[in-house]
Chain A
Amino acid sequence: MTVSFDGVFAVAYLVPLFPAIAFVVVGLFGTRLRRLEWGGWVAVFFSGLAMVLSLVIALGEGLNPGKFTDQTYTWLSLPHSGTGAFPGGFSLVMGTLVDPISALMLVVVNVVGFLVMLYSIGYMHHDKGLPRYYAELSLFLTAMNGLVLSDNLLEFFLFWELVGVCSYFLIGFYYEKPSAASAAKEAFLVTRIGDVLFLLGIFIYFAVYATAGAAPGWAASGFLFTSNGHPFLGTLVGTNTPLLTVAGLMMLAGAAGKSAQFPLHVWLPDAMEGPTTVSALIHAATMVAAGVYLLAVTSLFLGFTPADQLAIVAIGGFTTLFAATMALVHRDIKRVIAYSTISQLGYMVLAVGAGFTMVGLFHLWTHAFFKALLFLAAGSVIHAVGTQDLFRMGGLGRKMRLTTIAFAVGGLSLAGIPPFAGFWSKDDVLGSVLSQTASHPLYWPFFLCALITVFLTAYYIFRAFFLAFSGAAPRDASLPEAHEPPWVMRLPLVVLSGLAIVAGLLVFIPGFPNLLPGANVPPTYGTADLFLSGLSTALGVGGIGVAYSLWGNGRVFALPESSPFQPVRRLWLRLYFMKDAYDWIGLRGVYTIARAADFVDRYVIDGTIHGVERTFAELSRRLRKIQTGVVSDYAAYVVAGLAAFLLLLIFVAPWFLHAWGV
């Protein structure tokens, strides 16, 4: 086909702009509307526009594989001077870079964003803070769209921080609740660790690439992603320097913060304090996707060194298993799904680390749909019964047929059962990592982590499924009568269910693996390594089977007190004591330093100042006493002074005169 999409690519900046308009309108005027939902509909409308535009952009990219369109707007420009750090001149630019991966991400962000917004109309209808909610949600989408379309690292970082602050707002949406306020702070502070390291990474890349000299003219045209209109920088400069390894590790740290990878994962489960819809958005399309996307663009545009890759594979692989084990035992439905997100993000990081950027993004793509589906289905359950405790639910399948089907579809997709979307991407991840183990034996343990996790994933998600939906009636009889949600909530469930089934078929679009020139494309796409596919499917089915035998039909499996697994279970329930460890570090380490600083401030710095002040105050307090107001006393001082003067004159002055030889 020869349809030109250049005009559409050129106006890609409208995608972040639409939600931005909604942010301004709803943020400023939302509370003045006669009905609070109207502000919500405004936000839904604008996110719908953004979704349509991103779908058109994605269509254009699909029809013109590998095409990139870089629109830049100069922000700050240093002229050509011939000397100094940038002899060729230097400019900071803002811009939109439309390429296959940003188009893919736009679809994820805006489709999920739109559906979540629509769903929120029903889910949040009772909430007084609705205008605030929709304004923040719109800003969140703006930030994420801006990040996806960024054409350089600096712009990326700006939107990255905007994403962070939006997540802070939304996690702390119920700010009257102390736990929500502290969860918001935790999310902000933990991701901040990654953010600072990410910024250091940018500095290193900037220093290396801007002064490497291997890319003449680069400095004048952008900030690290684009070079003379060509976005793929990885081939321009050799990547085998220790400094670049450090920079890559900094990028990994930034991604680990945002994408909740070990050891910066602690904020994500606590982020469940926000509304369930926000969890759906954060876990599927926005916040956590940003970290993986960062790794993806870094690996494509800048390149990782082999040491970096091993570190990324290690973090990703370990996190998959680590988070999945914690998901096994929790009884809060949202927390189970939250740990599942961390685990699935581990798969993406693993794939990107192994060099298969497109596979990682493919898993991000399918995961976005089935994870949003799971969260929205869980939200529908919470909306109906008013609790998040799985052990109090049960028997909801009879009352909420659509929600049950939706959760089952999401669960099957997450468990990697063919032909659901999750199967294709998870199989790709496993296959691609396995294909690298021959040349990188160190990848083996992390591949095995990922493989074991397939079984655990299927088990924990179906444990939640059976606990909530199977059986005859809720275990807690005091729960309100469950009912299906209104259509604004059902529609997103239906659409996402459809996507969770078919999204994996993206791999069969001809040319999809080759969308990115230069990207490391896996040799097999899902179907070739039938043994591995069969094994992972068997593991998934096995997990579901175990879950059914322990929890199915309303059974509740209680681990015997004498079981040798009790300590393990407690370890998982206490989250490997990592939160306790961080609290301990905070209390013992940071608090001690803070106390020392406080001591210095209070007693050394303030002490000096107050000491000087007190000395003079005391001196003047005493000296003031000679001012009696009585004439005779003053006369006495005069006489004393006179006497002293005479004594000086008679006894001391001659000595001086003599000494000076006068």
Chain B
Amino acid sequence: MTSLPLADLLGLSAALLGIGLFGILTRRNFILLLIAVEISMNAAILNFVIFSAFLSGDAGVNGQAAAVVLVGLAATEVAVGLAIVLALNRQRGSINVAEASSLKL
């Protein structure tokens, strides 16, 4: 099996992170924001997986384990995030994050 070079794989991960960050900075819709957060998080998870494939022994297994934990963490984060979206929608009738600024000083 010929494997792709590490730099290309990391480039993919960096691209995912960039897409996610772009989404975080530009989207005003809370759900799209959550999706963007998920994308950038997946970039991090992908990093773990990539490095675990290139390392051998315990270190490789550790990366995969971390990836599994992070997937679970991402799921809980989305659950909390969607709960906030629902609460926001119920209270304000809108899920535009630019309008939800009442916690500022």
Report which A residues bind B (CB closer than 8 A): 624, 627-632, 635-636, 639
Contacts and interface: CB of A to CB of B under 8 A. Distances in A.
Contacts of A635: 24-25
B80 to A, nearest CB: 14
A624 B100 CA distance: 18
A639 B18 CA distance: 11
Contact of A628 (B21, B24, B28, B104): B104
A630 B25 contact: no
A631 B25 CA distance: 9
B88 to A, nearest CB: 11
Given A624-B105, A627-B105, A629-B102, A639 B97 contact: no
B22 to A, nearest CB: 10
A636 B28 CA distance: 13
Interface in B23-68: 24-28, 33
A630 B24 contact: no
Given A639-B21, A639-B24, A639-B25, A632 B98 contact: yes
- Taking each of A624, A627, A630, A639, which has the highest tally of chain B beta carbons within 10 Å of its own beta carbon? A630
Nearest to B96: A630
Given A632-B25, A639-B25, A627 B104 contact: yes
A632 B24 contact: yes
24 contacts: A624-B105, A627-B104, A627-B105, A628-B101, A628-B104, A629-B101, A629-B102, A629-B103, A629-B104, A630-B97, A630-B98, A630-B101, A631-B33, A631-B97, A632-B24, A632-B26, A632-B27, A632-B28, A632-B33, A632-B98, A636-B25, A639-B21, A639-B24, A639-B25
Contacts of A624: 105
Contacts, number: 31
A632 B21 CA distance: 10
B17 to A, nearest CB: 10
Given A636-B25, A639-B24, A631 B100 contact: yes
- Taking each of B25, B33, B105, which has the highest tally of chain A beta carbons within 10 Å of its own beta carbon? B25
Interface in B61-105: 97-98, 100-105
A659 B102 CA distance: 49
Contacts of A628: 101, 104
Interface of B: 21, 24-28, 33, 97-98, 100-105
Given A629-B104, A639-B21, A639-B25, 16 more contacts: A624-B105, A627-B104, A628-B104, A629-B100, A629-B103, A630-B97, A630-B98, A632-B24, A632-B25, A632-B26, A632-B27, A632-B28, A632-B98, A635-B24, A635-B25, A639-B24
A202 B103 CA distance: 72
A174 B98 CA distance: 73
Shortest 9 CB-CB contacts between residues of A and residues of B: A629-B104, A629-B101, A631-B97, A635-B24, A627-B105, A627-B104, A630-B101, A630-B98, A636-B25
B51 to A, nearest CB: 19
A645 to B, nearest CB: 14
Contacts of B103: 629
Nearest to B37: A635
A398 to B, nearest CB: 91
Contacts of B105: 624, 627
A201 to B, nearest CB: 66
A624 B104 CA distance: 10
B103 to A, nearest CB: 6
Contacts of A636: 25
Contacts of B97: 630-632
A629 B27 CA distance: 15
Contacts of B21: 639
Contacts of B102: 629
Nearest to A631: B97
Contacts of A629: 100-104
B94 to A, nearest CB: 14
Contacts of B27: 632
A634 to B, nearest CB: 10
A639 B20 CA distance: 11
Contacts of B24: 632, 635, 639
A627 B102 CA distance: 11
Nearest to B104: A629
Nearest to A635: B24
Contacts of A627: 104-105
Nearest to B98: A630
Nearest to B24: A635
